[in-house]
Amino acid sequence: MKNYILFLLLSIFISCNSQKTNKDIIVIVQPKMEKGQTNSITILFKNLDKKDSIFVPKIKELELNDNPYIEKKTINGEEYLSYYNYIVPQKTGNFVLSGIKGFSKEKVLTANPINIEVVNKMPKVTHKDIVLKLVSDKQTYKKKDTINFALYEYSKYYTVNKVTTKRDSLISLPKLKNKENSIQIEKESDLYKISGIESLESQLEHNFEVIDFDYDPFREGSIMEVLNDELYIKTLLISFKMLSKNKGKFTIAPSQFIYLISKSDSDYLGSLTTNNDSKNDKISMSNKIQIKSNKLSFLVK
C-alpha cells in the first residue's frame, strides 16, 4: 500500500471541480480584502487560446496591475486560458467585479459578477473562515461498487498553508530554501500530511483496494463556491476511488490541520523571515487556527 501511495504521489493530477454558477469562466479571488493590500486574482477562460481575446474591466476602487500573466493550462483534461494578476483595493465598501468576458470565433463567454468587500482592517480569523468537508457519493454501497470519497477545503483566504497537528513542527514547516535568489517551498510528501487523517493509510491498507486517488498540491483546480450562503474558495485536498475488501460499516476519521493564514499577498510576503545561515528559513505567520472536519461514515452490504 505504501509503495502504491508513493508511486501515485509522483504523478500529480490536477482536479477542477465543476463550478455550479459558471463553468466557462472561473474566477478565483478573496471575497474580503483589506484596503491598500495586494491580493491575487485568477480567471480561467474555458477553451480559449492566446490568440483569442479577453476583457477584464478596470474598476477604480479595485486597482489591477497593468501587466497580468496569461498562459494556457490543462486542468483535469479541460483546456483553459489562465489570467493571473494582482488587485489592490483603494476604497472601503462593497464592490461588484463584473463584465469579465472572453471572445473566440465561436462564442462569447461572460463571467457571473462577484461581490468583494473591502475593509480597513481584516478581522481575526475564525472557524467560519476555513471549513474542511469529507464527502462521499453514497451512504450505502454494494461490495462490488466503487466507493468515491473526497476531502475539500473551503477558504475565505486566497493564500493559506497548513501543517498536521502531530507530526509537523510549527517552527520548521513549511520549509523554505533560499539560494541564489530562488525560493522553494516544501510541499506535502505523505498521506497524513496531505489528508490530515493519521489513521487513513492503515485503514485503506486493511479494508480497501485503492483504484485511484487524486490531490491538488498547487491549488490549480480551486474554484469559487457558495457554502452555507457564503462565498468560499474551494480546493480539493484529496480524493479516492476504491473497492471494499469486506462488508460492514466504515468510518473515516476527521481531518485536522493547523492553518497558517495570510490575509493578503502583502501579508504573505511580509511573513517570510530569513535566518542568517539561510538553512532554516521559514514562514512565520501569526494567523494560526486549528480546523477539524466532519467524520465520514458509509455502509458496505
pLDDT of residue 21: 54
Q: Which of 57, 52, 47 is nearest to 100 (CA)?
A: 57
Same domain, yes or no: 109 and 215 = no
Task: Name the residue with cell 486566497.
Answer: 158
Of 119, 139, 174, the residue at which a domain comes to its end is: 119
Task: Name the residue with cell 516544501.
Answer: 186
Same domain, yes or no: 273 and 153 = yes
Same domain, yes or no: 50 and 10 = no
Q: How far is CA 288 from CA 92, 131, 176, 195, in A?
A: 26, 14, 18, 18
How far apart CA 250 and CA 296 sit, in angstroms, is: 8
Same domain, yes or no: 9 and 101 = no
Of 87, 119, 151, the residue at which a domain comes to its end is: 119
Q: DSSP per residue over 175-202, as a string?
A: BEEEETTEEEEPPP-SHHHHH--TTHHH
Same domain, yes or no: 97 and 229 = no
How far apart CA 299 and CA 204 sit, in angstroms, is: 15
pLDDT of residue 168: 63
How far apart CA 289 and CA 260 sit, in angstroms, is: 7
pLDDT of residue 189: 57
pLDDT of residue 156: 96
pLDDT of residue 22: 72
The total of other beta-carbon atoms located within 10 Å of residue 240's CB is: 22
pLDDT of residue 268: 82
Same domain, yes or no: 238 and 181 = yes
Q: What is the CA radius of gyration of the chain?
A: 20
Q: What is the CATH number of the domain that holds 112?
A: 2.60.40.10
Same domain, yes or no: 168 and 276 = yes
pLDDT of residue 280: 41
The total of other beta-carbon atoms located within 10 Å of residue 27's CB is: 21
Same domain, yes or no: 142 and 113 = no
Domain count, the chain: 2
Same domain, yes or no: 111 and 130 = no
Q: What is the mean pLDDT of each run of 10 residues along the chain (301 residues)?
A: 44 37 87 96 96 94 95 89 97 96 95 95 95 98 97 96 77 43 51 94 95 90 91 95 97 96 86 48 65 98 96
pLDDT of residue 186: 47
pLDDT of residue 271: 66
**DSSP H/E element including 85:** strand 78-89
Of 119, 139, 155, the residue at which a domain comes to its end is: 119
pLDDT of residue 18: 36
pTM over 0.85: no
Same domain, yes or no: 182 and 80 = no
- List the beta bridge partners of residue 32: 117
In terms of DSSP H, where are the helices of 72-199? 191-195
The total of other beta-carbon atoms located within 10 Å of residue 281's CB is: 20
Same domain, yes or no: 253 and 145 = yes
Q: In what order do the strands lie in the sheet with 248-252?
A: 140-141, 296-300, 248-252
Q: Which of 4, 3, 5 is nearest to 191 (CA)?
A: 5
Q: Judge residue 63's burial from the number of C-beta atoms within 10 Å of its C-beta, 0-12 exposed, 13-18 middle, 19 or more buried.
A: middle
- List the beta bridge partners of residue 136: 149
- List the beta bridge partners of residue 132: 153
What residue numbers bound the domain in which 171 lies?
2-16+125-300
pLDDT of residue 197: 96
pLDDT of residue 4: 44
How far apart CA 197 and CA 202 sit, in angstroms, is: 10
